[in-house]
């Protein structure tokens, strides 16, 4: 085991004591990292809409009290005795820039792991649910959950601007790059919020022609500045008719969690296209006319966050192509207000807890 000199004996965290309880600022004892753990001094921790699953409780394997937070960027402050000397001197050396996302580690031996689906590992953990997450000055993460971040990332983005890439970013990045399309194909991005504003950037930087869709005109200039070729106000334009007149979309990325707006946009998918759902609709179930999918030979699929190796690729690409999240920073003590704003859809676009 190796730890940084002069570590404090205690650290502050925001914790929830029981399902539907109130968030509390607590002081916890700093302990030595377990053999497979990395101790991280947190610099930024993004608030994801999924934090509300922690507040509700009931996530498989979840324990209370719980420190949530799964968009974490910080620096290595200690490593467990089980990590190899190569790793201790390399990717997990003291002070190394690292992150932790939704996927809280994997075993590498079970069937999903061995078939390239480690996000479904049978022993998989979820950061901020099955172990304490990043809304804290320090956190402990299983080695396999830790994302190495090149120092040069900080030349393009702050700790806070990097943090949302660890869940929101990797989710839309992989949802786009794993779908079948070719450069120049048309991509519809539904919703310009925490996920959508990243989706527009990734899709355009990866080589798709992006049409951004939202309601009203207030987000038009932002959407265009993020890389969209066009903006459609869904409250004033028949999106499906217009996109069909262009030949249909090869990729429809649904990011706003509203069942009606997702249901409305699905028929804009074109021949051999893919509709990918990255958000969980919060107001009911989506509706799909399956004939629309049949006649376009289109696919409808969901997508969720990737594992640490996927996220390393996402962060590298983001640095290379200047993709970053638009954030508002909050101190730990203001977490409840920052969380409420995310739940009320008032964040523009990711609220992030920062630690000096
Ligand atoms: Zn998340
Ligand atoms: Zn596994």
Residue 186, pLDDT above cutoff 80: yes
Same domain, residue pair 216 and 154:
no
CA 236 to ligand 1 centroid distance, Å: 31
Helix axes of 308-321 and 168-177: crossing angle, nearest 10 degrees: 90
Full residue range of the structural domain in which residue 45 is found: 2-167+306-354
d(Cα 351, Cα 353) in Å, to the nearest integer? 7
What the block records as the tokens of 222 is 């932002």
What the block records as the tokens of 268 is 């804009």
Burial class, 267, CB count within 10 angstroms (exposed 0-12 / middle 13-18 / buried 19+): buried
Same domain, residue pair 157 and 174:
no
d(Cα 23, Cα 337) in Å, to the nearest integer? 10
Same domain, residue pair 105 and 18:
yes
CATH of the domain at 40: 3.90.180.10
Query: pLDDT tens for residues 304-340?
Result: 989 999 999 999 999 999 999 999 999 999 999 999 9
Residues of the chain above pLDDT 90, percent: 92
Same domain, residue pair 260 and 294:
yes
CA 193 to ligand 1 centroid distance, Å: 14
Measured at the alpha carbon of residue 4, what is the angle toward residues 163 and 16, in degrees to the nearest 5? 50
Query: pLDDT tens for residues 225-270?
Result: 999 999 999 999 999 999 999 999 999 999 999 999 999 999 999 9
Query: How many structural domains is the chain composed of?
Result: 2
| Mean pLDDT rounded to a whole number for the chain | 96
Same domain, residue pair 117 and 220:
no
Residues 6+ positions from 214 with CB-CB distance below 8 Å: 190, 191, 192, 196, 223, 231, 233, 234, 256
Same domain, residue pair 190 and 219:
yes
Same domain, residue pair 77 and 178:
no
Q: What is the pLDDT of residue 123?
A: 94
d(Cα 221, Cα 20) in Å, to the nearest integer? 39
d(Cα 291, Cα 272) in Å, to the nearest integer? 14
Same domain, residue pair 136 and 12:
yes
Which ligand is in closest contact with the Cα of 127?
1
Same domain, residue pair 290 and 344:
no
d(Cα 136, Cα 14) in Å, to the nearest integer? 6
CA 202 to chain centre: 13
CATH of the domain at 290: 3.40.50.720
The answer to whether the pTM exceeds 0.85 is: yes
What the block records as the tokens of 318 is 């983001």
Query: pLDDT tens for residues 41-60?
Result: 999 999 999 999 999 998 89
Same domain, residue pair 256 and 288:
yes
Q: Label residue 345 by pLDDT band (50, 70, 90).
A: confident
What the block records as the tokens of 255 is 């990011």
Q: Label residue 166 by pLDDT band (50, 70, 90).
A: very high
Same domain, residue pair 84 and 152:
yes
Residues paired with 275 in a beta bridge: 252, 300
CA 116 to ligand 2 centroid distance, Å: 10
Query: pLDDT tens for residues 230-239?
Result: 999 999 999 9
Q: Label residue 1 by pLDDT band (50, 70, 90).
A: confident
CA 307 to ligand 2 centroid distance, Å: 11
Half-sphere exposure of 280 (CA within 13 A, CB side): 9
CA 304 to ligand 1 centroid distance, Å: 9
Residue 183, pLDDT above cutoff 80: yes
CA 167 to ligand 1 centroid distance, Å: 5
Same domain, residue pair 295 and 311:
no
CA 110 to ligand 2 centroid distance, Å: 4
Which of 254, 201, 257 shows the shortest CA–CA distance to 224?
Answer: 201
């Amino acid at each position: 085991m190796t730890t940084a000199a002069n570590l404090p004996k205690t650290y502050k965290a925001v914790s929830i004591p029981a399902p539907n309880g109130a968030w509390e600022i607590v002081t916890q004892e700093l302990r030595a990292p377990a053999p497979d753990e990395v101790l991280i001094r947190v610099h930024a921790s993004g608030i994801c809409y999924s934090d509300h699953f922690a507040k509700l409780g009931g996530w498989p394997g979840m324990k209370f009290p719980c420190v949530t937070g799964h968009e974490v960027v910080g620096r290595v402050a200690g490593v467990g005795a089980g990590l190899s000397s190569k790793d201790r001197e390399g990717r997990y050396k003291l002070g190394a820039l690292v992150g932790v996302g939704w996927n809280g580690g994997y075993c590498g031996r079970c069937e999903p792991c061995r078939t390239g689906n480690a996000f479904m590992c049978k022993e998989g953990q979820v950061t901020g649910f099955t172990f304490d997450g990043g809304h804290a000055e320090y956190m402990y993460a299983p080695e396999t959950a830790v994302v190495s971040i090149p120092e040069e990332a900080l030349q393009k983005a702050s700790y806070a601007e990097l943090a949302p890439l660890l869940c929101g970013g990797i989710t839309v990045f992989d949802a786009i790059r794993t779908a079948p399309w070719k450069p120049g194909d048309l991509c519809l991005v539904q919703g310009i919020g925490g996920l959508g504003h990243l989706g527009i950037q990734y899709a355009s930087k990866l080589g798709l022609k992006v049409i951004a869709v939202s309601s009203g005109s207030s987000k038009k200039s932002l959407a265009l500045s993020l890389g969209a070729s066009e903006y459609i106000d869904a409250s004033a334009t028949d999106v499906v008719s217009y996109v069909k007149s262009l030949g249909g979309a090869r990729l429809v990325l649904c990011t706003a969690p509203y069942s009606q707006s997702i249901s409305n946009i699905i028929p804009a998918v074109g021949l051999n296209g893919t509709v990918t759902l990255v958000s969980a609709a919060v107001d009911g179930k989506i509706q799909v006319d399956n004939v629309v999918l049949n006649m376009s030979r289109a696919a409808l699929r969901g997508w969720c966050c990737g594992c640490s190796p996927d996220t390393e690729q996402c962060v590298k690409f983001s640095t290379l192509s200047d993709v970053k999240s638009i954030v508002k920073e909050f101190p730990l003590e203001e977490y409840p207000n920052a969380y409420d704003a995310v739940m009320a859809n008032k964040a523009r676009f990711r609220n992030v807890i920062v630690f000096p």
